[in-house]
Amino acid sequence: MEITKWIENNSEEKYKEFTEKLVKTKYNITGIRVYKLRNFAKELLKEYGIDSLSIISDNTYEEVMLQGFIVAYFNTSLEDKKQLIDNYLHKCDCWSLIDGFAGTFKLKGKDYENGWKMLEEYKENQLLMQQKPYIERFVLCLSMNLYLNDQYINKVLKYCEQLTDRDYTVKMANAWLLTTAAIQYFEKVINVIIKTDEETLKYFKGKIRDSYRITEDKKERVKKLCLKK
């Protein structure tokens, strides 16, 4: 299958201009809608399996995103594709390459447990987290998508509480995670957010204000929040 031809046939100039306003990346943007990339990733996997990655370059933003979807959809154990995940994450330089990737994972059984262990391994590598903030964003996004439950919530929130000296993209993801967690674990989240930094609190307040899943009385409580000194 000719990847370059497919990109040419599915690129849209207006969507390219729209994406360029939202995404800052070193990769060239061609303007392909995400649902098309997802569908194409599944087609490539069906035809070529994981060898699909060998015929896709890093020339464009869309090709890199396509690689992420292929890795996420690849039907094998998490253990067998950990290196593929790591390889992809090291290519990411913007929020959108991370968020779609993290949102695609469906982990069950042993893979679910191993997914948490993988996140723990990333978190323990603090030098990596400092050098590669988008990998830390992945940790937060995957935690938000898969691990906001009774089994893991305390561990997730404990980590969130530590992220007071991070890059903008990490703080924004942290606020997003905390807002999502507040739907079910409001009091726990409040105990964390009042210990965080001004920037994260500001993002959190904005996301809570815009959430249709948070009641008005809780929104009023958040509006009045101040940080503990």
- What does the pLDDT read at residue 229? 56
First to last CA, the chain: 59
CA distance 20 to 56: 22
Q: Name, in order, each residue with C-beta under 8 angstroms of 66's C-beta and a sequence gap of 6 or more.
A: 37, 40, 41, 44, 56
- Any bridge partners for residue 60, and if so which? 28
Q: What is the pLDDT of residues 144-195, one digit of tens each?
A: 999 999 999 999 999 999 999 999 999 999 999 999 999 999 999 999 999 9
Tokens representing residue 187 in the block: 């009091």
Q: What is the pLDDT of residues 74-131, one digit of tens each?
A: 999 999 999 999 999 999 999 999 999 999 999 999 999 999 999 999 999 988 988 9
